[in-house]
Amino acid sequence: MLLLAGCGSSDNGSSTNSNELQKLGKGEGQVNLISWAGYVEPEWTKPFEQETGCKVNDKVAGTSDEMVQLMRTGQYDGVSASGNATARLVDGGDVSPVNVSLVPNYKTIFSDLKNQPYNTFEGVHYGIPHGRGANLLMWNSENVKPAPDSWNVILDPKLAAKYSGKISAYDDPIYIADAAVYLKYHQPDLKIESPYELNEEQFEAAVNLLEEQRPYVGEYWSDAAKQISAFAGGDSEVGTTWQYQYFALKGEGKPVAASPASQGFLPKEGATGWSDTWMISSKAQHPNCMYMWMNYIVSPKANAEVAEFFGEAPAQSLACAQTADKEFCSKYHAEEPAFWKRVYYWETPLADCGNGSSDCKDYNDWVKAWTSIKG
């Protein structure tokens, strides 16, 4: 992966520790952020502004692609990037390494979020983990029986036919990785290592699986509100979801279920998920304020607030003591490394497979294939 980073951005000078901030100075008065909806809200930005004097200007982005595009304008100081954007940002020279010694709260971040392939490149830290979530299998507990323990209920054509028209799938090219997670378990002869590094044969198998699934899909969802209304209205009965929708529907008293504790809360194949990282722009005009923000957003109280507001597991281990709902961290498995071991966090598919060969399908191929799958 990093080989590519080396050749791709050689004209910008290689990204080494030399361009990371060495000493924190005075705040510049403001900071311009790009974030997911719900990551930057007045409840926790107001105290930050009072504390540091850095006024927060936030631009909400709808997708990882949009985040990459906005960062390339060079007008922002930082971004809350998911793993399917981070490598692209590092490759493009759009972000700088982060000096974690200037972020005191980094020390108490869950250790299984540190030094991950989507936030640390060639041993250099490129961001501060913010929070994470898993893509769950959710079903209508009244109509879907027996309770499924595998993704086969929506991915094996024979079983999927039973819920034809009631299946809910995520509307994004990255959903191809869900099929790859399934194939990794059920077809070991394909030798899939990472669901985000697929060669021609593996990629074709995953795409074929989703093409077979296509006629049974009732709805592809892209925003949480759309899926909640589909499950509430009876249009969807089984499919992939985020923890947020699951708890929202449960809160409304709808008959929904997800994999129980006896299965480690995930289908037996494991699942895809996301882990978001605050990154600092290589062209940041307010680097001191950005460092203060990165430290603040993973401080126990603020990280608890944002995790509860958004509906994901906090990155800060001390945040669990600060949540309003005392059950929150156990609901979202924040403190269970065994749960997260089975989650394949989103990464950017690159042509470079990470094993020296570069015959993997890159993200552009994924986008084109996704258009063909949906037809």
> Which C-beta is closer to another protein: that of 132 or that of 166?
166
Q: 224: buried, middle or exposed (CB in 10 Å: 19+, 13-18, 0-12)?
A: middle
- For the bound state, the minimum distance from the C-beta of residue 367 to another protein, rounded and expressed in Å, comes to 5
Task: List b or e across 275-298, with b for residues whose CB sees 16 or more CB atoms inside 10 angstroms.
Answer: bbbbbbbbbbebbbbbbbbbbbbb
User: Which position among 123, 146, 253, 375 is part of the footprint of another protein (CB under 8 A)?
Assistant: 375
Using CA atoms, how far residue 79 sits from 40, 52, 198, 237, 273, in Å, is 11, 19, 27, 35, 19
Q: Answer whether 139's CB lies under 8 Å from 256's CB.
A: yes
Assigned token pair, 6: 């080396």
Q: Answer whether 220's CB lies under 8 Å from 154's CB.
A: no
- For the bound state, the minimum distance from the C-beta of residue 162 to another protein, rounded and expressed in Å, comes to 17
- For the bound state, the minimum distance from the C-beta of residue 65 to another protein, rounded and expressed in Å, comes to 3
Task: Determine if 117 is a binding residue for another protein (CB under 8 A).
Answer: no
User: Which position among 21, 124, 224, 367 is part of the footprint of another protein (CB under 8 A)?
Assistant: 367
Please give the Cα distance from 244 to 158 (Å, whole number).
30
> Binding marks (x or -) toward another protein, 216..235, rule CB under 8 A?
-xxxx-x---x--xx--xxx
Task: Determine if 374 is a binding residue for another protein (CB under 8 A).
Answer: yes
User: How many CA atoms lie less than 13 Å away from 7 in the CB half-sphere?
Assistant: 5
Q: Answer whether 337's CB lies under 8 Å from 156's CB.
A: no
> Which C-beta is closer to another protein: that of 46 or that of 368?
368
Q: Answer whether 230's CB lies under 8 Å from 218's CB.
A: yes
User: Which position among 49, 171, 212, 335 is part of the footprint of another protein (CB under 8 A)?
Assistant: 171
Task: Determine if 351 is a binding residue for another protein (CB under 8 A).
Answer: yes
Task: Determine if 356 is a binding residue for another protein (CB under 8 A).
Answer: no
> Binding marks (x or -) toward another protein, 70..109, rule CB under 8 A?
------------------x--x------------------
Using CA atoms, how far residue 43 sits from 38, 297, 305, in Å, is 11, 12, 8
Footprint (CB under 8 A) of another protein, residues 245-274: none
- Which part of the chain contacts another protein (CB under 8 A), choosing from 20-28, 51-59, 312-320, 365-373? 365-373
Please give the Cα distance from 118 to 126 (Å, whole number).
9
> Which C-beta is closer to another protein: that of 89 or that of 180?
89
Contact residues: another protein, CB under 8 A: 4, 7-8, 63, 65-66, 68-69, 88, 91, 165, 171, 173, 217-220, 222, 226, 229-230, 233-235, 351, 358, 362-364, 367-368, 370-372, 374-375
